Amino acid sequence: MTGKLRLGVNIDHVATVRNARGSAYPDPVRAAKLAEEAGADGITAHLREDRRHIGDRDIERLAEELSVPLNFEMAATDEMQAIALKHKPHAVCIVPEKRQEVTTEGGLEVAKQENRLAHFIAPLADAGCRVSIFIAADRAQIEAANRIGAAVVELHTGAYCDFHAEEKFDERDAELERLRDMAAFAHSLGLEVHAGHGLTYDTVKPVAAFPEIMELNIGHFLIGEAIFRGLPDSITEMRRLMDEARA
């Protein structure tokens, strides 16, 4: 396997800061272009149902102005499907969404809604979008994602990162083992494997080392770190750690 590990930079939280004051700045599209220059292989943006950070106009501009691929994260709703079909981003990542959650809490429950999701993603794939499903590192969910015709699964690294932050190292290592096994399992089915959520400089390397993983999507930590060292440097350091883990 497998070529360079790609870094998708999620710029949602530039929009969070903008929206905190209802101003026009900081501009997430400007951040996306800076991220491109700093070596991001793609830009990820999540248009939430409540538009708490990224807005419709941001997606429109990202789709028009980026030179790297746009990964559009969205819930499996008719409204989001119509927006995706209008802009036809390179990739669409289907995520679960609850209004009250602070961030995407868990992976998508694919196994219990296979029929609906199969019909939901078919027009997106027909339109040329690479469809990814954000799921927990769980065999049944991976098998279901494969059956519905997804091209990619993105494994949720949030639990692994939370255990690390809470210094629950046995649980963290067990979760990492699960991610490793499930990355290999998904790959064996022919799915492309991505991972993300909650990754930091401290947690990225063990995940980046899994040879089956082709892309990491990272946002909140990078945008926070940009306050201290600037966005380009924040991204360059993540890239360096990923490359080191992969070497």
Residues noted as catalytic: 46, 73, 197
Size of the site for ligand PXP (CB under 6 A): 19
Residue 239 within binding range of ligand PXP, rule CB under 6 A: no
CA torsion through residues 40, 46, 218, 136, sign: negative
Restricted to residues 39-78, the positions that interact with ligand PXP (CB under 6 A) are 46, 73
Residue 217 within binding range of ligand PXP, rule CB under 6 A: yes
| Residue 114 Cβ vs ligand PXP, minimum distance, rounded to whole Å | 20
Alpha carbon distances (Å) from 29 to 202, 234, 246? 27, 17, 29
DSSP 73: E
Instruction: Give dist(CA 124, CA 209) in Å, integer.
Output: 31
Question: Among residues 103 and 188, whose Cβ is nearest to ligand PXP?
Answer: 103
Cβ within 8 Å of residue 65, ≥6 positions away: 29, 32, 33
Helix axes 220-229, 12-21, angle to 10 degrees: 70
Alpha carbon distances (Å) from 237 to 153, 199, 212, 243? 26, 13, 22, 10
Q: Which stretch binds ligand PXP (CB under 6 A): 14-22, 60-68, 141-149, 218-226?
A: 218-226
Question: Among residues 134 and 185, whose Cβ is nearest to ligand PXP?
Answer: 134
Residue 14 within binding range of ligand PXP, rule CB under 6 A: no
Q: Which stretch binds ligand PXP (CB under 6 A): 84-92, 116-124, 141-149, 191-199?
A: 191-199
DSSP 148: T
Looking at 219, 225, 235, 241, which residue binds ligand PXP (CB under 6 A)?
219
Residue 10 within binding range of ligand PXP, rule CB under 6 A: yes
Q: Are 49 and 77 in contact (CB under 8 A)?
A: yes
Q: In this structure, how many other beta carbons lie within 10 angstroms of the beta carbon of residue 206?
A: 17
Burial level of 238, CB count in 10 A (0-12/13-18/19+)? buried
Question: Among residues 132 and 146, whose Cβ is nearest to ligand PXP?
Answer: 132
Question: Among residues 7 and 63, whose Cβ is nearest to ligand PXP?
Answer: 7
Q: Are 27 and 59 in contact (CB under 8 A)?
A: no
Residue 197 within binding range of ligand PXP, rule CB under 6 A: yes
Looking at 32, 40, 93, 186, which residue binds ligand PXP (CB under 6 A)?
93
| Residue 227 Cβ vs ligand PXP, minimum distance, rounded to whole Å | 15
Residue 104 within binding range of ligand PXP, rule CB under 6 A: yes
Residues making contact with ligand PXP (CB under 6 A): 10, 12, 46, 73, 93, 95, 103-104, 134, 154, 196-199, 217-221
